[in-house]
């Protein structure tokens, strides 16, 4: 999708679809109070074109509510699309991101290949962040998962133009716009990886895709396999992979900004299980096909590393993705096995479907060995986190309040939702083993927390954040602004956390 800026007057822009955002100014709590929709633009001609529809009361400017006006009076555009942001008091930058995605998804099935979105004019909405969010939203809306349909019709929007008021701070808007393109493309890269079937994206192929991306954006990349795992004594990672005919891949990316030699080194570690059957503790067959997205944490790290390479923050970053298939086989690891992690800790395997924490254990240890002073991991780790938080918030955990505070502040920019869950010795008691140092599950209750405590054992005292994104990495139902399927969740938050350093 080509993206561009325009500083022309809205009513003079000749386009097939001009998109303007609206909000509802109604604040009364009376049940019969009527909505008061208004356009977030100063253009009088465009306002006049929508006035009669607004007076009719049929349009309420609800969040992502659309209204199409054909041949609007006095406007060069052939069609005017109004997209609502909801109640004015609740409007924020994330509302704009979703509205931009809604506009693109409205355009796609109607054959609109070029559209213009007016940057909203409101004291509540800063132009720079809104410019970036608009582009991110456009990329979110343009992605569809039907990659392998033989009769697929390419409905992509070819050109997305952001129309900016002429009196805006052009330099600030241009910079924010450029950031939005990088972030949007990086999130789409993550989504394209997560969308791939397990037979099309093995650990080896994931490594190849990572290496190709790294070469394009200037990252250093190494991809290792079985020999390296044995050399590093990654017994936890290897145990998961040993039941598959497909070899594992240890993907290592390095970002070294020019002139930066001191300061923190941030270690980004992602779970890359390209297909998860559960192993010997096999999953139910229902919806097992979705377990192709069990590498979404690793894909999020790859997307974040892509954006980091292009946005060039002045901090050193190491990205590690531990990729494997978890399969049942005569050589597969078994419940009751004891494996030795890279750190030397012994692990009592209670359930082979709790494999993500095993690969992450060695990934965290390796990141520290490579010099990481701060750690963040991302994984579709537990169904328990989905039970606790649903598909509204992902789970966040940390052993360091200051480090998590930086992450929490980053959410203001990313617009993604995480809820911090506790850690503590009481929970750690649940993963103590009779035969080994720890066991890989802590029972039914508090499953997301005991999984995090398992990872805490390997993070040790290094400042560390764990993101359990199981409930948000895959969108179960289409929404006005995003298609059903891979979401690319956590890319923006990880990126902004890195940039905070």
For residue 320 the two structure tokens come to 């590690």
- Residue 283 annotated to the active site: yes
Q: How many residues does the chain have?
A: 501
For residue 425 the two structure tokens come to 């010795």
Q: How far apart are CA 331 and CA 392, in angstroms?
A: 39
For residue 14 the two structure tokens come to 């000749």
17 closest CA partner among 171, 200, 158, 175: 158
Q: Across residues 269-291, what is the average pLDDT? A: 97
Q: How far apart are CA 121 and CA 39, in angstroms?
A: 9
Q: In the chain, what are the domain boundaries?
A: 2-168, 198-475
Q: pLDDT at residue 27 above 90?
A: no
Q: Are strands 394-398 and 37-39 parallel, antiparallel or unpaired?
A: unpaired
Burial of 151 (0-12, 13-18, 19+ CB in 10 A): exposed
> Which candidate in 108, 357, 439, 492 is catalytic?
357
Alpha-carbon separation of residue 164 from 46, 117, 139 (angstroms): 14, 9, 19
Q: What is the distance, to the nearest Å, from the Cα of residue 381 to the centroid of all Cα atoms in its chain?
A: 15
Give the pLDDT confidence score for residue 298 in this predicted structure. 98
Q: Are 219 and 171 in contact (CB under 8 A)?
A: no
**This prediction's pTM:** 0.97
Q: Across residues 374-384, what is the average pLDDT? A: 98
Alpha-carbon separation of residue 198 from 178, 208, 371 (angstroms): 34, 15, 32
Q: pLDDT at residue 238 above 90?
A: yes
For residue 305 the two structure tokens come to 């590393």
Is 2-168 CATH 3.90.110.10? no
Q: Are 465 and 493 in contact (CB under 8 A)?
A: no
Equal CATH topology for 2-168 and 198-475 = no
> Which candidate in 87, 174, 283, 499 is catalytic?
283
Q: pLDDT at residue 55 above 90?
A: no
Q: Are strands 338-340 and 418-420 parallel, antiparallel or unpaired?
A: unpaired
Q: How far apart are CA 381 and CA 366, in angstroms?
A: 19
Q: pLDDT at residue 31 above 70?
A: no
Give the pLDDT confidence score for residue 124 in this predicted structure. 87
Q: Across residues 32-60, what is the average pLDDT? A: 90
Q: pLDDT at residue 156 above 90?
A: no
DSSP state of 381: -
Write the CB contacts of 379 (distance below 8 Å, at least 6 apart in sequence). Answer: 270, 271, 297, 356, 357, 360, 466, 467, 468, 469, 470
For residue 82 the two structure tokens come to 């109004």
Q: Are 456 and 428 in contact (CB under 8 A)?
A: yes
At 26, is the pLDDT very low, low, confident or very high (cuts 50, 70, 90)?
Answer: confident
CATH number of this structure's domain 198-475: 3.40.630.10
Q: Across residues 40-69, what is the average pLDDT? A: 93
For residue 307, the surrounding DSSP H or E stretch is helix 296-311
Q: pLDDT at residue 443 above 90?
A: yes
Q: How far apart are CA 374 and CA 365, in angstroms?
A: 12
Burial of 208 (0-12, 13-18, 19+ CB in 10 A): middle
- Residue 357 annotated to the active site: yes
374 closest CA partner among 384, 364, 385, 363: 364
Alpha-carbon separation of residue 4 from 63, 130, 173, 352, 353 (angstroms): 25, 15, 12, 49, 46
DSSP state of 482: B
């Amino acid at each position: 999708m080509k993206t561009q800026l325009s500083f022309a007057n809205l009513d003079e822009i000749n386009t097939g679809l001009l998109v303007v955002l609206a909000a509802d100014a109604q604040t009364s709590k009376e049940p019969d109070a009527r909505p008061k929709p208004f356009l977030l633009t100063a253009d009088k001609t465009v306002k006049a074109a929508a006035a009669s529809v607004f007076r009719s009361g049929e349009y309420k400017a609800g969040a992502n509510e659309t209204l199409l006006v054909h041949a609007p009076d006095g406007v060069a555009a052939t069609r005017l699309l109004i997209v609502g942001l909801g109640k004015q008091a609740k409007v924020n930058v994330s509302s704009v991101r979703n509205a931009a995605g809604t506009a693109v998804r409205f355009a796609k099935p109607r054959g609109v290949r070029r559209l213009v979105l007016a940057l909203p004019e409101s004291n509540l909405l800063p132009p720079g962040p809104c410019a970036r969010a608009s582009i991110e939203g456009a990329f979110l809306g343009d992605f569809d998962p039907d990659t392998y349909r033989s009769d697929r019709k390419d409905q992509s929007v070819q050109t997305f133009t952001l129309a900016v008021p002429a009196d805006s701070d052009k330099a600030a808007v241009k910079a924010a716009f450029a950031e939005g393109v990088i972030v949007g493309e990086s999130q789409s890269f993550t989504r394209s990886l997560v969308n791939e079937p397990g037979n099309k994206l093995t650990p080896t192929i994931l490594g190849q895709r990572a290496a190709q991306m790294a070469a394009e954006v200037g990252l250093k990349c190494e991809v290792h396999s079985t020999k390296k795992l044995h050399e590093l004594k990654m017994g936890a990672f290897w145990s998961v992979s040993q039941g598959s005919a497909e070899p594992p891949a240890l993907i290592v990316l390095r970002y070294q900004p020019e002139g930066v030699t001191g300061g923190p080194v941030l270690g980004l570690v992602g779970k890359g299980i390209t297909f998860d059957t559960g192993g010997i503790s096999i999953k139910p067959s229902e919806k097992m096909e979705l377990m192709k997205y069990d590498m979404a944490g690793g894909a999020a790290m790859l997307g974040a590393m892509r954006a980091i390479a292009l946005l060039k923050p002045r901090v050193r970053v190491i990205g590690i993705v531990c990729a494997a298939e978890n399969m049942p086989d005569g050589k597969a690891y078994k419940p009751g096995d004891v494996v030795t992690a890279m750190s030397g800790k012994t692990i009592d395997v209670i359930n082979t479907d709790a494999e993500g924490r095993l690969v992450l254990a060695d990934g965290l240890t390796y990141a520290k060995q490579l010099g990481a002073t701060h750690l963040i991991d991302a994984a579709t780790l537990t169904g328990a986190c989905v039970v606790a938080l649903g598909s509204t918030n992902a789970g966040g955990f940390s052993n360091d309040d200051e480090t998590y505070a930086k992450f929490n502040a980053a959410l203001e920019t990313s617009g993604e939702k995480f809820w911090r869950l506790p850690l503590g010795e009481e929970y750690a008691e649940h993963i103590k083993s009779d035969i080994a140092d720890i066991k890989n599950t802590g029972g039914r209750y508090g499953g997301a927390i005991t999984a995090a405590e398992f990872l805490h054992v390997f993070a040790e005292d290094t400042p560390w954040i764990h993101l359990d994104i199981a409930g948000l990495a895959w969108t179960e139902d289409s929404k006005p602004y995003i298609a059903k399927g891979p979401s690319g969740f956590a890319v923006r938050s990880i990126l902004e956390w890195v940039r905070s350093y």
